[in-house]
Structure 1
């Protein structure tokens, strides 16, 4: 009889396997139910927190915010406002630090050269020759030589004007400061054919050629003030057909608002006003 019962029922090993499988299924079911429960709760909590935060920002919550009261500190609305306040404070501090750093860098780097680039002029010669000689009784009676008025300032070639303007051959200053002023004039002498009897006169004329360049300024003072002059006295060879000479000078001077600077030369008829040869300019240094 015992052997027949043993053959008809499950063995102990099979029973253990069945119990193990049942236990695993039960645990899996419990884990699934628990996961679904907590997921649902977290979703509801997140929705509730988001709606509460949005309500705080949109002022849908009429309760006042007083961080000294424990009830308000425990509310989600207070937490949202506190986090927003911390974020704003952090951004303000970062912006302030960047601004201070930028100011310090500018102070350490020294004065900007932007003004130097903006206040400048370079005038070149033009073929339309126009000069004014010093005439007795005029305002220019104490100006030596003839003032050059044939300057090109309309950005043709290399010419330009920035925060200065040209009037009657004079550069008008608009900003007080220290300026570098420069000018070059190009002298070209072309010998004409002379008769044998006039050779001595031609030679005397060559010997008398003096090339002088002056730079003046007009101020509130009635008389013009000479800033610079440069001269050259050369004798052309008897066998030469022409002579070429250039005079350049430059220097730094303090100019005031409404001062006017200009160039004058002797023997104006010898000036070659080619734009690469004769020019006049100034720029603000400080």
Structure 2
């Protein structure tokens, strides 16, 4: 009996010791966990504060700025800022380089002497009027006989002065298209109409009776000739009705038009006007041209 009592007491003691040890371990775990959380929050707060407040430009005191530079936190944040700026600069540089390769730039190339050089299109022509010509424009009849309206202008210059030919040919007043594509075509014709007094004097000398006209109609045509089609095709037309000048000086008028058209190789372009005899064939006043745009 005494032995059984002693075994029971020993069991209770062991059980109590285990219980006390369990409680101690639980309390210790809770304490250290709380301490660890406190340290983690403190470290996180200090790290964020380090990243946010690390700004050497805010230090007005030189000694404080020097101390901050020796701070490891300041050094880490400055390195981080440098890496961020470098990555952003590289990214923007790559985007700009890609855009420059895919898009045409508006900057003009610079020659060795520093002057700006304007690159010419691959296919282009600008021909100008010739003041004196051995082949002046003559009347070619109506559409029924020649296939086009007006008088064809043949007196164009393609090599001198302001004119040029870039991979295009000028033959008989016509521009020969070398390759297929979309072309921008333009022309301007300048007219010098005699005064009413000169017109009436000429009428009296020839007919004996002067007839006063109220005005004149000026028309400019741009035609395309195709090797596969016998009749020229009208691309553009511009017209203007003007009054005869009443004074002693002649009247000066101009017609200008421009547009785009898709042309094939061997197509020819030419200009016709309603009254070629009144044209002022100055290279800066009457001109004709085209260039490939796409």
The normalised TM-score by structure 1 is: 0.56
1:215 corresponds to: 222
Alignment of 1:1-286 (within 5 A): 108-109=102-103, 117-127=121-131, 128=133, 130-135=136-141, 141-154=146-159, 156-191=160-195, 192=198, 194=200, 198=204, 204=212, 206-207=213-214, 209-219=216-226, 220-286=228-294
Contact 1:134 1:142 in 2 (8 A): no
User: What is the CA-CA distance between 1:193 and the residue it aligns to?
Assistant: 7.1
The SS at the match of 2:147 is coil
1:91 corresponds to: none
The SS at the match of 2:282 is coil
User: May I ask how many residue pairs the two structures share in their alignment?
Assistant: 184
User: What is the CA-CA distance between 1:108 and the residue it aligns to?
Assistant: 2.5
The normalised TM-score by structure 2 is: 0.54
C-alpha distance in 2 between matches for 1:123 and 1:258: 18
C-alpha distance in 1 between matches for 2:147 and 2:202: 40
Contact 1:116 1:284 in 2 (8 A): no
Which blocks of at least 5 consecutive residues in structure 1 are unaligned? 1-100
- Superposition RMSD in Å: 3.5
Distance 1:237 1:148, change over 3 A: closer
Which blocks of at least 5 consecutive residues in structure 2 are unaligned? 1-94, 109-117
The SS at the match of 2:146 is coil
User: What is the CA-CA distance between 1:133 and the residue it aligns to?
Assistant: 2.8
